[in-house]
Amino acid sequence: MGDPTTDFVAMMTLEPHGPDTFVGMGPRYPWGGLYGGQIVAQALRAAAATVEPQFRVHSLHSYFIRRGDHTEPVRYEVDRVRNGRSFVTRTVTARQATGAILSMSVSFQVDEQAAEVQAADLPDVPAQADLPHDSWTTMFDRANVPTPDLPGRSRGWMKIRGELGDDPVLHACALAYMSDDYPTDAVVSLHPDRPGPDTPPEEHPFMAFSLDHAIWFHRPLRADDWHLTAMVCHGIISSRGLTMGHVFTESGVHVASISQEVLLRRRRPAAG
């Protein structure tokens, strides 16, 4: 087992702490505190640990309540809300010393034989192999798609680093981890006072916080393959920007949809 601060599989290996309770760790991220995608992914992992394997996650809905502290473990408490024949529902509360930091509802379904229709199309963007690769974390690789002429949009290719094996829960958790990256960029790019493309992060005029986060998992996926995330901000009001988007494989299969509301506030001047 690797280090949970640098290895994704190790990060998703939660320690049981009593009935339906699990504990996880994570690194300190460049901006300080914990990354919302980590908390969502670990909460999903905890919920899935209480569900029979024939049930596949199809949606999750999260509220970020407090900022996480990277120096403390996170305790995930799972409530078995409903066990049905086709659907299973769980709620997860993530806690640290200050109290709850995340509340999440998760729904799982047994796959059914039914009509399948894809309406969303892969945007016409450069392939990841034709773009520079960059990332702020050791957990995933990223190839950002520039969108200077498309305010309110953010696009990028992403894949988790390392081999995840064949566990579908681990791949869903990896997508959840990565899915918190691009929504903020879409909100910032729609703001009338958005920074220029060459402005370093420390000089950006805004502070951004994820308020809530939802994912719908449409089809099985391998998060260790490249996927495109394409987000659109649908408006900003009361410092909140709402983004929605799709996740596609390189061949254009629509595997998931994401929605997030981002709180965008101006930085306060430093005390002189």
| Catalytic residue set | 180, 210, 260
226 near 251, Cβ under 8 Å?
no
Q: Locate tokens 């760790």: which residue?
A: 25
Length of the chain as a residue count: 272
162 near 140, Cβ under 8 Å?
no
DSSP code per residue over 43-88: HHHHHHTTS-TTEEEEEEEEEE-S---TTS-EEEEEEEEEE-SSEE
**CA dihedral for 178, 250, 247, 52, sign (positive or negative):** negative
Give the residue among 214, 146, 223 at the shortest CA–CA distance from 185.
146
Give the residue among 105, 37, 102 at the shortest CA–CA distance from 76.
102
94 near 101, Cβ under 8 Å?
yes
Q: What distance in Å separates the CA atoms of residue 16 and residue 30, rounded to the nearest whole number?
A: 29
